[in-house]
Structure 1
Amino acid sequence: MKPEDATSLYPAHLSTIKERANLALQKSGFDHLLVTSGVEKHEFLDDRPYPFKPNAQFKAWLPLTRHPHSWISYTPGRKPVLVYFQPDDYWHVPPSAPSGTWVDHFDIRIISDPAEATAHLPSSGKLAIVGESDAALPGFEPNNPKVLLDYLHYHRAFKTPYELAVMRQAQRRAVPGHLAARAAFQAGASEAQVHAAYLAATGHTDLDLPYNNIIGLNQNGATLHYQYKDIVAPSRNRSLLIDAGAEVDGYASDITRTWGDGDELFGALLNAVDNEQQALCGKVRAGTDYRDLHLECHLRLGGVLRTLGIVDMDPGDMLATGVTSTFFPHGLGHPIGLQVHDVAGFSDEDGGLIARPEGHPYLRMTRTLAPGMVVTIEPGLYFIPTLLSKLKEKPQAKSVDWAKVEHLLPFGGVRIEDEVHCTDGAPENLTRDAFAAAV
């Protein structure tokens, strides 16, 4: 199937963004919305900049991701103003002139000094200014009105057709990287070499990835956010857990896959988690409370532990006594879009907290699913020494086959993660579709 063209969908997307801004301004009592892209930050006592990451509320308006010191100024009923920072610089490559189908929808003002932006921002009325405090200019200090942000964040969960098209592209960009990583793992590569293969296949660098790739060989897969990439390959590549994404026009993908070396028990564990993950993806349907899906995931993973003879307990009892949390200590998933862990996973339109289930502090999504939402579904089973040592001190330890646990410890664990779009009917699995297209 030919990839969808997102550019033709952009005008309708911008109309939706303006409509949301109109309602947010009305609800919060402001006349103008100002959004700063942010500023370039430098290391302490040095002149080396950190990689620039723009304000997500800025990216929501237009596909600019490398542009510090820029502003959007929007007044309902008027064409939005883009204050575009383009310095005269020979130390670094300055931004090119604005281009693309989106430019016709903005009144573009070019500045060469950040301070010049003030001449192009409203001089009267109540200003809602969204951004970090260090982006402030004289008379234009970010105030980030809570009522306004709560409304905008809540509605960001509902992706426009343009956003969905770009997110599909981000999936298709990431998948070749995962396939290259699998091949490198099977060839005996180190974590650093697996990572390099991923970057080459996706056309990314470390600086423009949406998040720091997790490349965990063997027992390192048991560290949920493993942050290193060992340059020395282990004597045996038992397993690879790779959690890696890609970015297109400011939208992130977030995919996790696990591969084994043919070990029978670990292979059975991997296949079982994959089967339960696909079943859970099929339940991303309108009206489903994501908290219920998370608890169902615990029951399903408890069933895997029992079927494989790792824990001899009823899955419901495993959930009630915290045994499943020993092997699955994180949440089922999270919203995704302009940010990998997108905003408003826990709140209603007025910013009211939607509580997590008791005993599940790491769940990142508690809302009821509705058409237009995109969430990750990422169950996992891990063998984490610090959590296992605590389980050994509990009465439930007698139900654990510790010999099987010892066998699986060197493999780290399993996680499978897809992005799933909730529709009016059957869910759309963006990730599985992208893998199928790559075959």
Structure 2
Amino acid sequence: MNQPDPGALYSHHLSVLKQRADQALARGGFDHLLIPSGTLHYQAFDDRDYPYAVNPHFKAWLPLTRLPNSWLVYTPGKRPKVLFHQPFDYWHVVPDAPSGWWVEHVDIEIIRKPEDALALLPKDPARCAILGEPQSTLGPFAPNNPEPVIHYLDWHRGYKTPYEIALMRQAQRLGVRGHRAAEAAFRAGASEFEIHMAYCSAVGQDANDLPYGNIIALNEHGAVLHYTELGRSAPTPLRSFLIDAGASACGYASDITRTYAATGHDEFQAMIGAVDAAQQKMCAAVRAGFDYKQLHIDAHLSLMEVLRDFGVITVSPEAALATGVSAAFFPHGIGHLIGLQVHDVAGFAASDRGGRIERPHGHPYLRLTRVLEPGMTVTIEPGVYFIDMLLEEVKQAGHGASINWDRVDFFRPYGGIRIEDEVLCTTGEADNLTRPPFAALD
């Protein structure tokens, strides 16, 4: 299957960003949009800097993720201008001269020192909406992050352009390549650290490139939602493997999770299969007009059906949801917006003027409460876990009889199960971005 070329889609993407910026600036009463790319941050009491992270607003306009001390300048009616920082430096790698699909669509000024930008920025900082962090302040140009501008741009970032979807598909393919390598390493008896290294090698990205820290969890570690310790020796016996890992493509993220059972652990493998089947139905429910909050509630009911089928709970899914038992087994949200950031912005926004749509009562970790619309890309990541702390809270709340504790003891050594895909909401059926790359490798 031929994949769309992001370069061929960039001109349209840029025109969409300019339209959004025009409207955002008008709402805020500004004449110019300035976006610093960000600066290096240095550790306290040391001369080492933290890994550089580009301003998300900057990489929305440009496929550049390693260009500190640069600026994007946009004035309605004019071509965007890039102040491209290319220092004289023999201590570090200097960015290559500007090249690629984006250069013909913008004006480029090379600056050798950060302060060289001052002569090229608009004359009156008060007329500028400057989006960035305080450390990006340059002379009188201090980020002001005006709310009317931020609200508008963040809201509309929820709707991905074809260029963005093409890059997100690239990130999926890279991530799936890593997932297959990680599964093979698990099957060969590798440690968490060795699995992580196999993943990074297959993707061709390390911790500075990946969109988030890999979760590589063997056995009971799968019950720690954000387990990132990376044990150096494999446990014995090896029972299960949960991997939550993504990749980056020009600053756009993938976020993929799979769970595997070791050979001979057939009942846990059967539970993985049941969660996977339920997850695919949840993915198919990503339709225009569907309330994502309801999808989260439906996920609770579906997962509790799985646990009842496996004898873990003794009550109906509805009763498990009403009493909080379901939250002990599924304590996080069904997913989130994704794109330039793994947890993309405006997940709770009521409109492009701000406001907030609250989470359902009793579900404090859901990261998206909006109604789905075409162009939104979300993760769908149901999970069931055997977490001692949360199960003890069920007992203390007086609902211990709702759980078959012998079955909990059986599944506890496996940690948990999570399956996660990215899904694009369209005008018709859901477009799962994750499953096709897995099928292609199979």
State the TM-score, normalizing by the size of structure 1: 0.99
2:229 counterpart of 1:255: no
1: CA distance, partners of 2:150 / 2:413 = 45
Matched, 1:149 2:157: no
Letter in 2 for 1:64: L
- What's 2:70 paired with? 70
* Residues in 2 aligned to 1:293 and 1:309: alpha-carbon distance in whole angstroms: 24
Count of residue correspondences: 439
What is the letter of the counterpart of residue 192 of structure 1?
F
Q: What residue identity is the alignment partner of 2:407? A: K
Partner of 1:291: 293
Counterpart position of 1:87: 87
Q: Matches of 1:399 and 1:49 in 2, distance apart? A: 51
Show the counterpart of 1:309.
311
1:69 Cα offset (Å)? 0.4
Alignment check: 8 A CA contact 2:320 2:402 kept:
no
Q: Tell me what 2:341 maps to.
A: 339
- Equivalent residues in 2 for 1:19-58, closer than 5 Å: 19-58=19-58
The aligned residue for residue 60 of structure 2 is 60
Question: 1:4, CA displacement in angstroms?
Answer: 2.0
Residue 197 of structure 1 aligns to a residue in which SS?
helix
Give the AA of the match of 1:231.
R
Contact 2:6/2:167 (8 A) holds in 1: yes
Match of 1:403 in 2: 406
Shift of 1:267: 1.5
Aligned-pair CA distance for 1:107: 1.1
Q: Describe the SS at the equivalent of 1:83.
A: strand
* Rounded Cα–Cα distance in structure 1 between residues aligned with 2:396 and 2:322: 17
Q: What SS class does the counterpart of residue 35 from structure 2 fall into?
A: strand
> For the residues of structure 2 that align with 1:137 and 1:206, how far apart are their CA atoms?
29
Q: 1:264 aligns with which of 254, 263, 266?
A: 266
Of 408-417 and 228-237, the range deviating more from structure 2: 228-237
**2:312–2:407: 8 Å Cα contact kept in structure 1?**
yes
- The reply on whether 1:362 has 2:358 as its aligned counterpart is no
In the TM superposition, what is the alpha-carbon distance from 1:264 to its structure 2 partner? 2.8
Alignment deviations for residues 152-202 of structure 1 (CA, whole Å, 9 cap, x no partner):
000000000000001000000111110111111111110000001101111
Shift of 1:374: 0.2
Match of 1:373 among 347, 355, 376: 376
Superposed counterparts of 1:57-206, under 5 Å: 57-124=57-124, 126-206=127-207
Corresponding residue for 1:208? 209
Task: Determine which of 390, 393, 415 is the counterpart of 2:393.
Answer: 390
What letter corresponds to residue 146 of structure 1 in structure 2?
E
Structure 1 unpaired stretches of 5+: none
What letter is aligned with 2:43? Answer: E
Post-superposition shift, 1:395? 2.8
**1:396 positional shift:** 2.0
Q: What SS does the corresponding residue of 2:314 show, helix, strand or coil?
A: coil
Bigger drift between 245-254 and 38-47 goes to 38-47
Equivalent pair of 1:218/1:238 in contact (CA under 8 Å): yes
| Of 236-245 and 122-131, the range deviating more from structure 2 | 122-131
- AA aligned to 1:73 is V
> Aligned partners of 1:404 and 1:271: how far apart in 2?
18
CA contact (8 A) 1:331 1:363 kept: yes
The whole-number CA distance in structure 1 between the counterparts of 2:235 and 2:113 is 51
User: Which has the higher mean CA deviation after the structures are superposed, 114-123 or 374-383?
Assistant: 114-123
Equivalent residue, structure 1, for 2:229:
228
Q: Deviations over 1:396-430 (max 9, x none)?
A: 21121111101111110000000000000011000
AA matched with 2:94: P
SS in 2 for 1:392: helix
Contact 1:328–1:380 (8 Å) recurs in 2:
yes
Query: What CA distance in whole angstroms lies between the structure 1 residues aligned with 2:83 and 2:51?
Result: 21
In 2, distance between residues paired with 1:49 and 1:237? 38
Aligned residues of 1:63 and 1:250 also touching (Cα < 8 A): yes
Conservation of the 8 A alpha-carbon contact between 2:256 and 2:422: yes
Could you tell me which residue of structure 1 aligns to residue 324 of structure 2? 322
CA displacement at 1:139 relative to structure 2: 1.0
Question: For 2:250 and 2:86, how far apart are their aligned partners in 1?
Answer: 19
The residue that corresponds to 1:239 in the other structure is: 240
Which amino acid counterpart does residue 347 of structure 2 have in structure 1? G
Give the fraction of aligned pairs with identical amino acids, expressed as a percent.
55
- Preserved contact between residue 219 and residue 413 of structure 1 (Cα < 8 Å): yes
CA distance in 2, matches of 1:312, 1:51: 49
State the secondary structure of the residue aligned to 1:155: helix
Contact 1:186 1:237 in 2 (8 A): no
Paired AA for residue 164 in structure 1:
I
RMSD of aligned alpha carbons: 0.9
* 228-237 vs 363-372, which moves further: 228-237
Q: What does residue 351 of structure 1 align with?
A: 354
